[in-house]
A and B are shown apart, each in its own frame.
Chain A
Amino acid sequence: MATFFGEVVVAPSRAGLDEEEEAREETPEDREIRREIEKKREVEVLWSWRAGGRAQEPLVCSRFIVAIGRNAAAFLSSFILDSVCWEVVGVVKLWNEWCRTSSTTNVLPTDSFCLFYRLISDPTVLLCQCSCYVAEDQQFQWLEKVFGSMQKKSLQVTILSTCPVADYKTQESTLTLASPFLKALKTKEFQEPVCCPLLEQPNIVRDLPAA
């Protein structure tokens, strides 16, 4: 959709182009195909301490830092992670049209992966590097399976992610904006001071960071 000044604004969030398809009753073949695709798109979370078939106790976690997207994952690799203080404790296996991750923990920065690390000196501090794209229909599953393995009492979650500056809505033009810059969203339960300004409307966050 072109605006008054000719720039193109993406107009998503419409009715859904396949509503007629949705309304049609499923044949048994359709149902079978849909089930197969759902199975293929299932998100699998593998934790290292469960490999020995021990009881499924929830992980006690006090701080969980999640880096979503290549930039945020690279930030953690460059400034936080090292093999001395952190150990790999989990991995997410998933497939979608954009990427496939595997259960290997020996990854290159250019791979698509989703790994969990634990701080050796304080095993309640968990870190997740998710450089793969988690599709819309997989985000809820990812959320339930990852957080489902944790004991969530007094858990503080920090989510790191990036967005293109061109997507930032502001009265000025984004060309004159000093970038990169930080913005934050926080729940009312988060009482500590935030290190940067809060994200103003009409800007929003979507996909896995939002989930």
Chain B
Amino acid sequence: MFIPCDRGGDSAGPDFKGFTLLMPAVSVGNVGQLAIDLVISTLDMTKVGYFYTDCLVPMVGNNPYATAEENSTELSINAEVYSLPSKKLAVLQIRSPFIKNKYRPFCETLLSWVKNIKCARVVLLSSSHAYQRDDEQLLGTPLRYLLTPDLEKAVGGRMKELNWKEMEKVAAYPGISDTDKVLHIPGGGITKLLFTESCSEGIQMAVLLKFCSEGDNIPDAFVLVNYLNEWLQLIKSEVSASNNSTDPSSQWKIPSSWRLLFGNGLPPALF
């Protein structure tokens, strides 16, 4: 599935041992994918390979993180892997929806690759439908996390220090008490499947998700990526001189491909 880019004749391919693998779920508002775009763009990560897979709708375009004429002509496809060895960070970006009936095969192949490359942990950025929240979830933070049992042992304490909220389980049959509680992530795409598979396969995975709705999801992406940053500290959040608060939003670099998300310019004849 993973095809390395050939750079300098290194036939062994990139080494991800001990890395943190960051990836998105294709979910409501595409928030995970937008957040990943911010990470790749801000940290100026290098592409090290792609996934050759029949599970995603094909797409291709020129470099979405181009900053100048010179670097704008590298082709980019639907599933690519970027790396930043200095932070032991690998990032998978997914740019198109899943083909019907291909969720499970993709998850299986992905987790098998994750085990092969021996990365330390996987962090999945995702989102869930805001309208499906219950009364309690409507109050307080819209951000949640989940940890597989293996990762819980390692970082569960850190989540408590950060005062993060774990994703609540809901009744399997709403309205009927005494039913089992299950994990339910509506609008989360492959999130639940990937998480439950990781639990049973002993993979260290964290899910970070935000409740949101469709629309302009750029602010949601910033909120999610800042949430991630509280834990992984990918960029330094500088204290703003004017209002003395730590708001790292301005330090994330928006990629050039985010232009024109809401339609083209207007015809002058309209006015």
Partner-B contacts on A (CB < 8 A): 1, 3-5, 7, 9, 11-16, 18-19, 22-23, 34, 136-137, 139-141, 168-176, 185-188, 198-208, 210-211
> Which among B72, B78, B256, B263 has the greatest number of chain A C-beta atoms within 10 A?
B263
Q: Label chain A's interface by main secondary structure.
A: loop
Are A188 and B268 neighbours in the complex by a CB distance under 8 Å?
A: no
Expressed in whole angstroms, the Cα–Cα distance for A101 and B26 within the complex equals 33
Expressed in whole angstroms, the Cα–Cα distance for A60 and B96 within the complex equals 33
Can you list 18 A-B contacts with CB-CB less than 8 angstroms, sorted by A residue number? A4-B262, A14-B29, A14-B187, A15-B187, A18-B100, A19-B103, A19-B190, A137-B99, A137-B101, A139-B58, A170-B260, A171-B260, A201-B62, A201-B257, A201-B259, A205-B59, A206-B96, A207-B58
Query: Contacts A199-B62, A204-B59, A205-B60 given: A15-B189 contact, CB under 8 Å?
Result: yes
A52 to chain B, nearest CB (A): 31
CB nearest neighbor in A for B55: A140
> Which among B58, B66, B261 has the greatest number of chain A C-beta atoms within 10 A?
B58
CB nearest neighbor in A for B29: A14
Seed contacts A15-B187, A210-B58; 8 additional CB < 8 Å A-B pairs: A3-B263, A14-B27, A14-B187, A137-B101, A173-B265, A201-B256, A206-B59, A208-B58
Within 8 Å CB of B77, what residues of A?
210
Is residue B57 contacting chain A, with contact meaning CB distance below 8 A?
yes
Within 8 Å CB of A4, what residues of B?
262
Expressed in whole angstroms, the Cα–Cα distance for A197 and B72 within the complex equals 12
The 4 A-B residue pairs with the shortest CB-CB distance, nearest first, are A140-B54, A204-B61, A211-B58, A173-B267
Expressed in whole angstroms, the Cα–Cα distance for A9 and B68 within the complex equals 28
Are A5 and B97 neighbours in the complex by a CB distance under 8 Å?
A: no
Within 8 Å CB of B63, what residues of A?
201
Are A202 and B260 neighbours in the complex by a CB distance under 8 Å?
A: yes
Contact with A along B178-221 (1 / 0, CB 8 A): 00000000011110110000000000000000000011000000
Are A185 and B187 neighbours in the complex by a CB distance under 8 Å?
A: no
Are A202 and B257 neighbours in the complex by a CB distance under 8 Å?
A: yes
B16 to chain A, nearest CB (A): 24
Are B189 and A12 neighbours in the complex by a CB distance under 8 Å?
A: no
Is residue B64 contacting chain A, with contact meaning CB distance below 8 A?
yes
Are B103 and A22 neighbours in the complex by a CB distance under 8 Å?
A: yes
Q: Looking at the complex, which one of A5, A16, A34 makes contact with B263 (CB distance below 8 Å)?
A: A5
Are A34 and B265 neighbours in the complex by a CB distance under 8 Å?
A: no
CB nearest neighbor in B for A20: B186
CB nearest neighbor in B for A200: B62
Chain B, range 82-102, C-beta contacts under 8 Å to A: 96-102
